[in-house]
Amino acid sequence: MIGTKLGPYEITEEIGKGGMATVYRAYQPSMDRHVAVKVIHASMLGDEVGRDRFQREAKLIAKLEHPHLLPIYDFDGAHDPPYIVMRFLEGGTLKQVMEADRLPAEEMLYLLHQVASALDYAHRQGVVHRDLKPSNIMIDKEGNAFIADFGIARVSDAPKDLTGTGNVIGTPGYMAPEQARGKVDVDSRADVYSLGVIIYELLAGQGPFDRENPLEELMAHVQEPVPDIREANPELSANVNQVVQKSLAKDREERYATSGELVSNLGKALKKQASSAPSQLRSLTQSFAAEQLVALEEHAPEAKTPSDIQRQMTALHMDVTDFAELLYETEEADRVQRAIDRLWHAFQGIAEEHGGALESRTGEAGLMLWGREEAHESDPEQAIRAALRMKAAIEQASVAQLGATQAELPFKAGITTGPVLLTREQSGDSSGRPMTGRVG
Ligand SMILES: Nc1ncnc2c1ncn2[C@@H]1O[C@H](COP(=O)(O)OP(=O)(O)O)[C@@H](O)[C@H]1O
Ligand SMILES: [Mg+2]
């Protein structure tokens, strides 16, 4: 598939595989942009009738427009294999965020409010997601959530499954009991349940019914009482447990009527407001984006499209959020901001001295690139040297501002390098192998 064309889209690499489709990154020359192309496994559609239905339902879904729904640009259900074209998001998924770190409650609420607003909007249009799970919540570099794959579970489900017994499409760990039972009239409350599972996982660090075997997990959702979330996280209150229990009620009549209601009740129970600037989330998604930029492993394109140029690039991601937080403990906000700006000014100078350039910065975190104009064999080494100098700069700043060196320096850094696929626009894109992990 890599190096071939699907309609006007030039497939450049595989991004991921799910149960019913493979997702590729592709280049769309007419718009000079990168898109995500989801190619549905032929077996998911069945016969002619299945294809017609796919076409009809995809049209319906493509009509949904909301700031927190991942936009669908195009689809072709008549093509073999059928595909859906969506906005490409490089910041990773909520699944990756959950695997990397536990978010502060304020930042969870920030995400959950966005997700709930998109869900409620779609439900008002009469569309149920049916496969809501962390890997279907994409995050951009600013920390904003976008629900992906709305209704796809339904679109790609062959008609014979609908009339037959096993209409079980979705992911076992997040599926509502009525959906697991194969009830045909699954409605918005199934999505409220899935959101409840995601919330459980965010707060407890584990799912309510984690089992080795997917079938057992499915059965547990159907039959077993939801464990008190305080068993997994004793810091949570009885009120939080109540909200979680209600969202995960076996009987959908007992659940919250809308996702918005669920999330606002969760906020009250946690006694927390949604954050206005989710710095931890931003830092995580920026580092995912940096990894994306350089680190897409084996899938080097076999045949390059004429618009592509292959080049070696090295990315250095720095994040001094922890340092800023230490400063906030003793300093006024604007003084902290100035100190962080000075530090970033120094980073930029250091990067330039070592042949790199500051590519982007949001608050405390930023990305520096080597080999953007012209690649040099020494780029990775220069980037490491620069990172060490930056580490020294933080050490200095830390002595100056806090009066002592910290036992553990309060910053995170990552370096990745690899052959990067550039387009005419030089929008950095990739395929390579991560070289080093954390420095410092
Ligand atoms: N629009 C997109 N932009 C960037 N990456 C995407 C996009 N859609 C999907 N992906 C990536 O592709 C992977 C596979 O997607 P999918 O086939 O929907 O399976 P799943 O949602 O079960 O993971 C996702 O986990 C995600 O990392
Ligand atoms: Mg998906």
Mean pLDDT of 157-173: 47
Q: Is the pLDDT of residue 139 over 50?
A: yes
Instruction: Give 357-391 pLDDT, tens digit per residue.
Output: 998 888 888 888 888 777 777 787 888 888 888 88
Structure tokens at 299: 């899938």
Global pTM value? 0.69
Mean pLDDT of 96-108: 92
Q: Is the pLDDT of residue 130 over 80?
A: yes
* Residue pair 130/186 in contact by the 8 Å Cβ criterion: yes
Give pLDDT, residue 420. Answer: 60
Neighbours of ion ligand 2 (CB under 5 A): 136, 149
Which residue among 32, 52, 74, 131 is the active-site one? 131
Measured on CA atoms in the order 70, 73, 76, 77, is the torsion positive or negative? positive
Domain segments of the chain: what residues?
A: 5-88, 91-287, 310-439
Q: Is the pLDDT of residue 436 over 50?
A: no
Q: How far apart are CA 105 and CA 440, in angstroms?
A: 27
Superfamily assignment of 5-88 in CATH? Answer: Phosphorylase Kinase; domain 1 (3.30.200.20)
Ligand 1 atom nearest the C-alpha of 70 is 1
Give pLDDT, residue 44. Answer: 67
Supply the residue whose CA is at minimum distance from atom 12 of ligand 1.
16
Q: What is the mean pLDDT of the chain?
A: 83
Active site residue 131: yes
Preceding amide of 81 cis, omega within 30: yes
Instruction: Give 43-95 pLDDT, tens digit per residue.
Output: 666 667 777 777 777 787 888 999 999 999 998 888 888 899 999 998 889 99
Give pLDDT, residue 312. Answer: 67
93 C-beta closer than 6 A to ligand 1: yes
Superfamily assignment of 310-439 in CATH? Answer: Nucleotide cyclase, GGDEF domain (3.30.70.1230)
At the second CATH level, the architecture of 91-287 is Orthogonal Bundle (1.10)
